[in-house]
Structure 1
């Protein structure tokens, strides 16, 4: 059970206790015990979310506009009714649960961003070392021959490593001719430059630029566009498996994002390119169920084209 679920359950218990008190005054003692238990559970959740334990995150009392501490009876002042006390304490609990919920969501978003970046870095490392072999664990090294049995052999001349083929001067000049936008939104400029590179057919350069945009601006409003276009840059470059990863991540990150439906359809296209009919059909079925308006609107032609390319049961 997550902290958010525990907080919701605790608050729901407090509301139930309030309703029971208002209906049956004779159950006031039981209501008080349950409310104290609820407050103890919320304090325990606070210690989980805010392990520092300092006074920055704990508000033991609520100060009213007249300067008095609400929820505590001051000496010489008439006590409030039991119902008023319950309402005051529930207000305080609602505030604490809201704070807990905000902190948990921030932590979950940070973790999701870290996992996405780690997965991307692993893919980049694997792409840069396609021929690297990792020796199996526990393999003993071959012992060197002894001096008495070693046979002299001529030392072979070292073979020079082939130089990495770089882009031609013509390609470099063509890429440099594509202007990078300059506006008040630096993040949008980075994405737009990646789009221009992709649109001109410079797919490796577009991949690099869009990956840079994703790393520098992970929470930009263009993020869903950037991740979807990064998948398309790999798909158009003949790397359907890598493209499928970005399409799936973009859809999973937020199914309601602007380019999540597009990524789901492009995921089916990548699966078709990989001859994975089962996953292609699953993606098409998910698209048809979740986005019926787009299936008959903006993305109708692509949806019908991909559906016609596979035979789904």
Structure 2
């Protein structure tokens, strides 16, 4: 019986290399070998299934085994350590990507809520406040002077509709005719969405609203440029001015998030001047 048991143990030992190639953990393979060994013992000792064959090794056997020079770490253990290291690196990279995605989604959600509220305010009809008549002599209030004619601003003619429209809108903006500039620039974006000037025009729409003391409309224009044309040449500028618009709307915390987004997304490509402007803007908004 002892020979039979030893032979079964040897057979299981010889089969272990094949089992080591399986995907199961080492502990699971050891548990399986022990289970199979117990099954063999039950066959060998049918009248005493609980009997165990004691190994014929002296108590000092562990010392002699260590002296044989067998490495403490097997090839399987080394491979497991390498796999664990790769898994840790992959987990770290995955975590960073998920954090960036979460920040973008959070920014989009917050701005979508803000835009919805702003659109609702703009759509609401204005409430007229009656002014009580004041006693005394009539006072004639002079009417505000009408803006100068747009004929005073020359329209360029380069043969490129997108270029001509943007330059004309730019000249109107320089002349502080913000409403006219917005109308011209919106047409540039609508008619030439694939032109590089579309990003320029959309950014300048926001600048015109901002200079016209309309930060709510400006913030929407800037965000649209960043969201719809993130690779446009004026997308970084729009993010920067979006922060300025949010500060004017008393939303400094949101402005700080925008400045952070600007540095994270475009930090490697923006100019040194813009980087310095971001530092100043963060200080003015008291960003942490």
Instruction: Give me the TM-score of the superposition, normalised by structure 2.
Output: 0.49
Instruction: Give me the TM-score of the superposition, normalised by structure 1.
Output: 0.46
Q: Which has the higher helix share?
A: 2
Larger Rg computed on CA atoms: 2
